[in-house]
Structures are given as structure tokens and as C-alpha cells.
């Protein structure tokens, strides 16, 4: 586990973009696991700037997004499909046919989930997976539960998640109740996981990652078993985490 503490959201986003670009430059045909939500927006902005400056080339990458709301069409401005085009894909030289986002409107969602899972495997799995984390510890939309779900699946969103995501909709009642999410299997199989945390109110959930106890009620806790995990965290949140153990590399910036 490598922890990088940044003084500002901009530094955090820059560092995340540099790590992504390094991966793509090392392997132009990288498979990227992408997230939506507020946290990675700054990183996507940095990547767009780097792409314009010729510092990173998306022409050969394949992307898989973590999740999508059930019932929202790609042209709905709160769908994660729309988010990705708005915040990244439209602004870089990526090939549309190499971007993948689970469909939340497929007539047969279990078949859609199985196909998505197979496609990730067919592409050789994920080289680098970007993750944000929910206040309740969810990663992707793997919500707190008595057990982990390994494969891509349909999930009932937790009331805390609906509450948190209501800020993006006109009314809370408009937030979809279900989503399709990649499971814990594909995330844990990613060759590098990059978790970005920029909100001290998530510190309690993130602390579980340092507890030595994997608990499906706090899904992010499973990441402590990942052999190549980088956590990018803002200083205020970092102050609430037990980061002073010798085994962890802590790089202070900003
Ligand atoms: C989004 C996703 C979610 C978010 C999480 C944090 O694709 O999978 O797990 O990363 O809900 O969201 P923000 O960044 O908006 O706080």
C-alpha cells in the first residue's frame, strides 16, 4: 500500500493524472477502469490538458466504467455514460468503440452483467482501476452487505447513497433506486488500484482499510488485501487516518 497525501484537490488530481498517464505511456493499449462522481473530475480535467499538450495518447486504450444507474438512458444528463462523455471522452482522442459502460437500460440486465464481466476478462482484465469511495464505504456501487459479490451485478442502492447522490438531481425522488456495478472480483484483479479520497467525512469508512479486518459492511476495507494499491488522499482526511506505520510509504506534497 502506498499513500500519497496532497495539500490541495488540484495537487491530488494532478498526481492521479500523472499516475494514469504513466500507465498509458508505458502500455498504450492499457485497459483503464474508470469511475464517475465528483472525486475524479479534477483528474479527468488534468488528463484532458495532458492529452492536448501531447503528453498522453488515448487512441489505443480500452476503458471499462464501474457502474451505471438502472433506468437512465445514455443521453440522460445524470447517467454515467453522459458523465464520461461530458468529463473526459469528448475531449480526448479516445475511440468510442473502445469505451465500455454497463447499460442500465438493457432489457435483460443479468445477461448484460454477464456480458460485461466476460468482456473485461476478454480484454485481459484491468491495468489500472480508479476508485472513489462512498461515505458508507461502497466502491463502485458495491454497497454494504453481509457478503461480497464477485461479478458484475444489479444492486439496490443504499439509502445513504441515494441521499448522497440526490445533490445531482432536481429531487431526491429522481435518483434511481438500482444500479449495475462491476463486482469486487474485477476490482481486486486490477493490476493497480488507485483510490482517491478528498472528503474528510469519508475518513471513518477509509479507516477500515487500515484495520486489518475485511468487512463486507464496509466494502472499501477489502482493498487492504490488494497487492498494488495507491491511495491519494487530501491532508485533512489523512490526519484522521492511521498513517504512521513503518510499512507505508507516505509522500507529503503541497
Ligand atoms: C462512481 C462510483 C462511486 C463513487 C462514490 C463517491 O462511479 O463508483 O463509488 O466513486 O460514490 O462519489 P463522489 O466522488 O461523488 O463522492
Residues 63-73 have a mean pLDDT of 98
Pocket probe for ligand 1: among 16, 38, 39, 158, the residue whose CB has the most ligand atoms within 8 Å is 39
Name all domains of the chain by residue range, CATH numbers in brackets: 2-253 (3.40.50.1360)
pTM score of the predicted model: 0.96
Q: Is the pLDDT of residue 81 over 60?
A: yes
Give percent of the chain above pLDDT 90.
93
Contact 207, 136 (CB under 8 A): no
Cα distance between residue 172 and residue 159, in whole Å: 11
Ligand 1 pocket residue status of 36, Cβ below 6 Å:
yes
Report how far Cα 29 is from the mean position of its chain's Cα atoms.
19
Closest residue CA from atom 10 of ligand 1 = 132
Residue 121: all three cell numbers together? 476478462
Residue (of 66, 135, 138) closest to 104 by Cα position? 66
pLDDT in tens, 12-34: 999 999 999 999 999 999 999 99
In degrees and rounded to multiples of 5, residue 123 shows phi and psi of -80, 5
Ligand 1 pocket residue status of 137, Cβ below 6 Å:
no
pLDDT in tens, 151-199: 999 999 999 999 999 999 999 999 999 999 999 999 999 999 999 999 9
Amino acid at each position: 500500500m502506498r499513500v500519497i497525501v496532497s495539500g490541495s484537490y488540484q495537487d491530488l488530481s494532478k498526481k492521479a493524472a500523472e499516475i494514469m498517464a504513466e500507465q498509458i505511456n508505458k502500455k498504450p493499449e492499457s485497459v483503464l477502469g474508470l469511475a464517475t462522481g465528483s472525486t475524479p473530475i479534477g483528474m479527468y480535467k488534468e488528463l484532458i490538458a495532458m492529452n492536448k499538450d501531447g503528453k498522453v495518447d488515448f487512441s489505443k486504450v480500452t476503458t471499462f466504467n464501474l457502474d451505471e444507474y438502472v433506468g437512465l438512458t445514455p443521453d440522460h444528463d445524470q447517467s454515467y455514460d453522459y458523465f464520461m462523455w461530458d468529463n473526459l471522452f469528448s475531449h480526448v482522442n479516445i475511440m468510442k468503440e473502445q469505451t465500455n459502460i454497463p447499460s442500465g437500460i438493457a432489457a435483460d440486465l443479468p445477461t448484460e452483467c454477464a456480458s460485461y464481466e466476460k468482456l473485461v476478462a476478454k480484454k485481459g482484465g484491468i491495468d489500472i482501476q480508479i476508485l472513489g469511495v462512498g461515505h458508507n464505504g461502497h466502491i463502485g456501487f458495491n454497497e454494504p452487505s453481509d457478503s461480497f459479490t464477485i461479478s458484475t451485478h444489479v444492486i439496490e442502492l443504499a439509502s445513504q447513497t441515494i441521499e448522497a447522490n440526490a445533490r445531482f438531481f432536481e429531487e431526491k425522488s429522481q435518483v434511481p433506486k438500482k444500479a449495475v456495478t462491476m463486482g469486487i472480483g474485477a476490482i481486486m484483479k486490477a493490476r493497480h488500484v488507485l483510490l482517491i479520497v478528498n472528503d474528510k467525512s469519508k475518513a471513518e469508512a477509509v479507516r477500515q482499510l487500515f484495520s486489518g479486518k475485511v468487512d463486507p459492511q464496509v466494502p472499501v476495507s477489502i482493498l487492504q488485501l490488494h497487492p498494488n494499491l495507491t491511495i491519494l488522499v487530501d491532508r485533512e482526511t489523512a490526519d484522521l487516518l492511521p498513517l504512521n506505520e513503518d510499512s507505508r510509504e507516505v509522500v507529503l506534497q503541497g
